Amino acid sequence: MRIFDFFFKPADFPYDFDVWKTLPFPQRAKQVCQAWGIQGFGAPPAVILFYTLKIVFYCWMWVFFCSFSDSLGPSKQITNWWFSLEALGKGLFWTILIEVIGLGGASGPLTGRYVPPFGAITYYLRPGTIKIPLFPNLPFLGNDHRNLLDILLYAALLFFLVQACIAPQISPSVVLPVVILLPVLGLLDRQIYLAARADVWFPAIFVFLFPLATGAALKICWFTVWFWAAFSKLTPSFTSVISTMICNSPILNVQSLKKMMFKDYPNDLRLSKTANYIAHFGTVIEFTLPLLLIGSCLFNFPTQLTFYALIGMTAFHTFIFLNYPLGVPMEWNVIMVYGGWVLFGMHPEFALSSAGHPLIIGLFLVSFILLPLLGNFFPKYVSFLMAMRYYAGTWGYSIWLFKHGIKEKKLEPNIVKTSPDVRKQLHMIYDERTTEILMTRAMSFRLMHLPSRALHALFPKAVQNMDDYYWLDGENLAGEVIGWNFGDGHLHHEVLLASIQKRCNFDSEELRVIMVESPQLHNGNIHWRIHDAKDGLLEEGNTSIHDLKDKMPWPL
């Protein structure tokens, strides 16, 4: 029992939990935010071990797949080939495969998956599960019910991804089937396209169709991802991301540091100047170092400058990795560092001018300029992933409010799923009290981010009494009913609500959903809607992100 407690027991709630359950919602919200400030998610060592072993497995399988390439070799010769473009290509296809199976960033306890620790493939191969079509109002293409065609296309994608991983060479003939299947699947079910992290990896594998341009085009891919990730941090939201992530870090587990993120912990959890300085420093680093790397390709900077810039980017990604952020994009951090060294450190001969094929230019204009710009200025129309607004507090989100007892009565028996809800998963491991404590972590994570302070004014508009309703974050609901979630609120907005209502037939006031968009770049406006599952849109409006900076994480 002691061994179990050491490895699997999460941090206990730092307040009297039995008293907490009896408090009104604003006081409960206050205490869960105060708990996050010093505990974060409160994950036990087993969680950290899970993700560490998963990355070891990820790296080991990459070496295994590389051994199939004629130009590479076995692991004992890795120093001879690991900085080759072929090895990076194997890493890219393996990364897409592990992501689209569901074992990548959207897996494990920090994404609300315990038993089983992944979804995706268990949903995408099962008929009757819910899809999120790209165009829900079109006949056939807008079908939200997974059928045999969907399953066969997804199985074909898996087959061709495996084929690419074990191919003797990453040739155009190996790449083409994946390049065709990913957009087709995305049209029928956009979550599969996003689950493959095609926002980054589709352009990256597309350029392997043009062997003479591949290396140079990949340099542009890497620079663009870094640039837009830095650009997305030009928002007041990012400081709350940094403070929330540091408070959750199992490595930087120093309470004095965590308390420094706030003006006056535990009474005033508005963001401190220290949190702002850290956020701004990270933004400057993420802008400056990639500019130095791409500049070295254009202006022949000294090789020492390239080396130190790569050291800096390695440290930057390592910092993110060691904080184990919720969503856990660990594979992304690993391959971005590895790819940076391959492309900028070991292959200065890849001249950017060689990436001038019209199809590459066209795809890059759409993927790396049009969609990010549209997503920053009009986030309602573009996934935060396609807009490359990565982990900057600029995601849409939703809060689903079920009348007590209604979810069990209507949603559970009417939705085809392959995993139970998070509460039932936790019951397989923990007692009732520990389960309830862990369920509060989702609430605190959401409230600690700046855009979520819009909820203070939205809860009274949505329901008369919050104590009559069960809070479920849209992220947890998406993981439960569609099998994948990675911070994209668009996957659990109106389209999913319509699909669920069609199957469950909620009555008026049994389910209310608050949907909140990302802040617009140019004015900071956050568009929100409140829906009743049966009665439809009840109210909508805008809130300014700038008006939320002086609010506490909890409603007063």
Q: For residue range 15-74, what is the model confidence (pLDDT) as tens digits?
A: 999 999 999 999 999 999 999 999 988 888 898 999 999 999 999 999 999 999 999 988
* 64, 136, 156, 235, 475 from 151: Cα distances, Å: 28, 18, 9, 40, 24
% residues pLDDT > 70 (the chain): 99
Q: Which amino acid is at 102?
A: G
pTM: 0.95
- Count the helix, strand and coil residues of the chain and give each as a percent rounded to the nearest 5: 60, 10, 35
Domain membership of residue 401 (yes or no) is: yes
- Per-residue pLDDT, averaged over 240-252, amounts to 88
Domain membership of residue 43 (yes or no) is: no
Domain membership of residue 458 (yes or no) is: yes
- Per-residue pLDDT, averaged over 76-91, amounts to 93
| Residue 321 pLDDT | 87
Domain membership of residue 444 (yes or no) is: yes
Total count of domains within the chain: 1
3-state secondary structure of 224: helix
Measured CA to CA, the distance from residue 241 to residue 289 in angstroms comes to 21
* 16, 54, 324, 446, 546 from 252: Cα distances, Å: 26, 21, 10, 21, 29
Domain limits at 532?
Answer: 397-548
pLDDT at residue 1 greater than cutoff 70 = no
pLDDT at residue 5 greater than cutoff 80 = no
Domain membership of residue 119 (yes or no) is: no
Q: Compute, in degrees rounded to 10, the torsion defined by CA atoms 416, 419, 420, 426.
A: -170
Domain membership of residue 436 (yes or no) is: yes
| Residue 168 pLDDT | 96
- Condensed to tens digits (0 to 9), the pLDDT of residues 135-159 reads 998 988 999 999 999 999 999 999 9
- The tokens for 213 are 């341009």
pLDDT at residue 392 greater than cutoff 80 = no
pLDDT at residue 471 greater than cutoff 90 = yes
Query: Residue 381 contacts by C-beta under 8 Å, 6 or more apart in sequence?
Result: 374, 375
3-state secondary structure of 477: helix
Beta strands in 204-306 (DSSP E): 262-264, 268-271
- Condensed to tens digits (0 to 9), the pLDDT of residues 188-205 reads 999 999 999 999 999 999
| Residue 77 pLDDT | 87
3-state secondary structure of 537: strand
> Inter-axis angle of helices 148-166 and 172-188, to 10 degrees?
150
The separation between CA 96 and the C-alpha centre of its own chain, rounded to angstroms, equals 14
Of 172, 186, 168, 197, the C-alpha closest to 101 is 197
User: Cβ distance 286 to 233 under 8 Å?
Assistant: yes
| Residue 226 pLDDT | 96
Strand partners, 401: 471, 512
pLDDT at residue 506 greater than cutoff 60 = yes
- Residue 324's pLDDT band, with cuts at 50, 70 and 90, is confident
Domain membership of residue 461 (yes or no) is: yes
What letters, b where the CB count within 10 A reaches 16 and e where it falls short, cover 502-526?
A: ebbebeebbbbbbbbbbbbbeebbb
Domain membership of residue 117 (yes or no) is: no
| Residue 37 pLDDT | 93
| Residue 76 pLDDT | 83
The separation between CA 66 and the C-alpha centre of its own chain, rounded to angstroms, equals 27
